[in-house]
Structure 1
Amino acid sequence: MGDISVASADHHSMLHSVLQSDSAAKESLVYSYGRSFSGFAANLTSEEAARISEMRGVVSVIPNRVLKLHTTRSWDFMGLSKSKLGAGQEEDIIIGLLDTGVWPEHPSFNDTGYGPPPAKWKGTCQSKNFTCNNKIIGARYYKSDNTYNPTDIPSPRDGEGHGTHTASTAAGIELPGTSFLGLAEGLARGGVPNARIAVYKVCWAFGCDLADIFKAFDDAIADGVDIISVSLGSLYPSDYFYDPIAIGSFHAMKKGILTSNSAGNEGPGPVTVTNYSPWTLTVAASTIDRKFVANLVLGNGQIMTGISINSFDLNETSYPLIWGGDAVNRTSGASPEDTRYCLGDGMRTDMVSGSIVFCEGQLDGSTIFVANGAGMVMADSSVVNPDYAFSYPLAATLISPDDGKKVLAYIKSAKYPVATILVGETWKDAMAPTVVSFSSRGPSPISSDILKPDIAAPGVDILAGWSPLAPPSLFLSDSRNLYFNVVSGTSMACPHASATAAYVKAAYPDWSPAAIKSAIMTTAYVMDPRRHKDLEFEYGSGHINPVAALDPGLVYDASETDYINFLCKQGYNITTLKIVTGDNSTCMNTTLGRAWDLNYPSFSLYVEDGQEIKATFTRKLTNVGAPNSTYTASMQMPPLISVTIEPSSLTFSAVGEVHSFTVTVDGPVISQQPIVSGAITWSDGMHDVRAPLVVHNYYPGAPYSLDAGDSNPMMEEELPVLKGSLKNHRSGINRYQ
Structure 2
Amino acid sequence: FPPFLVTLLCVTDQAVPDGVDVLSLSVGPNGLPRRNLTFMSTFDLALLSAVKAGVFVTQAVGNGGPYPRTSLSFSPWIFSVAAATHDRAYPNAITLGSITGTGLACKIHATGTNGSFSLITAADATNGNVSRILVDECQDAGNYNRSLVSGRILVCSYSLRYLFGVSTLADTVAAVQELRASGLVFLATPDVDGHSFPPSPIGFPVIIIPSSKDSAVKFIRHLSWILTISLHLPPGVAPLLQHIHGHGHHSRRPHQGGDVLVPDVNSNNLDVADVLKPNILPPGNLIWAAWSSIGSDEREFEGQEFALISGASMATPHIAGIAALVKQRFPSLSPAGIASAMSTTALTLDSNGQPLLAQHPSSNVDSILGPATPFDFGAGFVNPAAAIDPGLIFDAGFRDYIQFLCSIPALSNSTVSAATGSSFFTSSSFASDLNTPYVSIASLNGARSVVRIATSVSERDEAYNATLVVPAGVSVTVQPSSFSVRGGQLVKLTLTLKALVTSSAPIFGELLLDGDRGHRLHLPICVSSKIASSGTS
Partner of 2:12: 217
Partner of 1:507: 329
Cα distance, 1:211 vs. partner?
0.5
State the alpha-carbon separation in 2 of the partners of residues 529 and 539 from structure 1.
Answer: 11
Residues 514/313 of structure 1: CA separation in 2 closer, same or farther (3 Å cut)? same
State the TM-score, normalizing by the size of structure 1. Answer: 0.58
Q: 1:254 aligns with which of 42, 52, 73?
A: 52
Q: Is 1:276–1:444's contact at 8 Å kept on the other side of the alignment?
A: yes
Partner of 1:476: 299
Partner of 2:431: 595
State the alpha-carbon separation in 2 of the partners of residues 366 and 553 from structure 1.
Answer: 51
State the alpha-carbon separation in 1 of the partners of residues 502 and 70 from structure 2.
Answer: 23
State the alpha-carbon separation in 2 of the partners of residues 316 and 265 from structure 1.
Answer: 38
Q: Is 1:249–1:258's contact at 8 Å kept on the other side of the alignment?
A: no
Structure 1 position 624 matched with structure 2 position 419? no
Partner of 2:396: 558
Secondary structure of the corresponding residue to residue 285 of structure 1: coil
Partner of 2:501: 669
Structure 1 position 415 matched with structure 2 position 225? yes
Secondary structure of the corresponding residue to residue 661 of structure 1: strand
Cα distance, 1:683 vs. partner?
2.2
Cα distance, 1:440 vs. partner?
6.1
Partner of 2:377: 539
State the alpha-carbon separation in 2 of the partners of residues 630 and 415 from structure 1.
Answer: 72
Q: 2:387 aligns with which of 549, 557, 565?
A: 549
Partner of 1:435: 261
Partner of 1:377: 186
Letter in 2 for 1:210: L
Cα shift readout 1:669-693 (whole Å, capped 9, x = no counterpart): 35463x4222101222222221111
Cα distance, 1:584 vs. partner?
3.8
Report 1:283-362 matches (<5 A): 283-298=81-96, 300-307=97-104, 309=106, 311=108, 312=110, 315-324=113-122, 331=129, 334=131, 336=132, 338-339=133-134, 342=137, 348-350=143-145, 354=150, 355-361=153-159
Cα distance, 1:233 vs. partner?
1.2
Letter in 1 for 2:407: K
Cα distance, 1:600 vs. partner?
0.5
Letter in 2 for 1:597: D
Partner of 1:573: 412
Partner of 1:234: 29
State the alpha-carbon separation in 1 of the partners of residues 456 and 299 from structure 2.
Answer: 52
Secondary structure of the corresponding residue to residue 331 of structure 2: coil
Report 1:39-78 matches (<5 A): 64-65=1-2
Structure with more relative contact order (C-alpha pairs < 8 Å, separation 6 or more):
1
Letter in 1 for 2:54: G
Cα shift readout 1:643-693 (whole Å, capped 9, x = no counterpart): 1112323333x43322322212234435463x4222101222222221111
Residues 548/668 of structure 1: CA separation in 2 closer, same or farther (3 Å cut)? same
Residues 404/221 of structure 1: CA separation in 2 closer, same or farther (3 Å cut)? same
Letter in 2 for 1:678: G
Structure 1 position 691 matched with structure 2 position 523? yes
Cα distance, 1:603 vs. partner?
1.4
State the alpha-carbon separation in 2 of the partners of residues 485 and 390 from structure 1.
Answer: 8
Residues 414/342 of structure 1: CA separation in 2 closer, same or farther (3 Å cut)? closer
Q: Is 2:462–2:516's contact at 8 Å kept on the other side of the alignment?
A: no
State the alpha-carbon separation in 2 of the partners of residues 672 and 367 from structure 1.
Answer: 51
Cα distance, 1:343 vs. partner?
7.7
Q: Is 2:348–2:356's contact at 8 Å kept on the other side of the alignment?
A: no
Partner of 2:362: none
Aligned-residue Cα RMSD (Å) equals 3.4
Secondary structure of the corresponding residue to residue 451 of structure 2: strand
Cα shift readout 1:9-54 (whole Å, capped 9, x = no counterpart): xxxxxxxxxxxxxxxxxxxxxxxxxxxxxxxxxxxxxxxxxxxxxx
The alignment-based identity, stated in percent, is: 27
Q: 1:519 aligns with which of 326, 331, 341?
A: 341
| Structure 2 unaligned residues grouped into runs of 5+ | 163-167, 178-182, 243-253, 359-370, 531-537
Report 1:458-477 matches (<5 A): 458-470=283-295, 476=299
Secondary structure of the corresponding residue to residue 432 of structure 2: coil
Letter in 2 for 1:297: T
Partner of 1:97: none
Structure 1 position 455 matched with structure 2 position 297? no
State the alpha-carbon separation in 2 of the partners of residues 664 and 329 from structure 1.
Answer: 75
Secondary structure of the corresponding residue to residue 286 of structure 1: coil
Q: Is 1:227–1:502's contact at 8 Å kept on the other side of the alignment?
A: yes
Count the aligned residue pairs.
476
Q: 2:70 aligns with which of 265, 268, 272?
A: 272
Secondary structure of the corresponding residue to residue 669 of structure 1: coil
State the alpha-carbon separation in 1 of the partners of residues 194 and 104 from structure 2.
Answer: 9
Cα distance, 1:460 vs. partner?
2.0
State the alpha-carbon separation in 2 of the partners of residues 323 and 668 from structure 1.
Answer: 62
